[in-house]
Amino acid sequence: MAVHYGRDEVAAKETVEAITGAGGRAFAVRAELGVPGDVDTLFAALEPEIDGLDILVNNAGVNASASIEELTPELYDRVYAVNVKAPLFIIQRALPLMRDGGRIVNITSGVTRIALPGTIAYTGTKGAIEVMGRTLAKQLGPRGITVNSVAPGFVDTDINADWLRGDPEAQAYAAGFAALGRVGTPEDVADVVAFVTSADARWVTGTTLDATGGSAL
pLDDT at 157: 83
Instruction: Give the separation between CA 167 and CA 72, rounded to whole angstroms.
Output: 28
The two most distant CA atoms of the chain are separated, in Å, by 51
Alpha-carbon radius of gyration of the chain: 17
Query: What pLDDT, on a 0 to 100 scale, did the predictor assign at position 169?
Result: 87
d(Cα 203, Cα 22) in Å, to the nearest integer?
29
DSSP 149-164: EEEE-SB-SGGGHHHH
> What pLDDT is stored for residue 134 in this prediction?
97
H or E element at residue 195:
helix 186-196
126: which DSSP letter? H
Contact 208, 151 (CB under 8 A): yes
Residue 158 confidence (pLDDT): 77
| Mean pLDDT, each 10-residue run in order, the chain (217 residues) | 91 93 93 95 95 96 92 97 97 98 97 93 96 98 98 87 79 91 94 97 98 95
Short-list 17, 15, 46, CA closest to 30 = 46
d(CA 59, CA 13): 17
pLDDT of residue 109: 96
- Return the active site residues: 122
pLDDT of residue 162: 74
CA–CA distance, 196 with 148 (Å, rounded to integer): 8
Element (H, E) at 167: none
In this structure, which topology does domain 31-211 adopt according to CATH? Rossmann fold (3.40.50)
Q: CA nearest 55: which of 103, 2, 100?
A: 103
pTM for this model (two decimals): 0.93
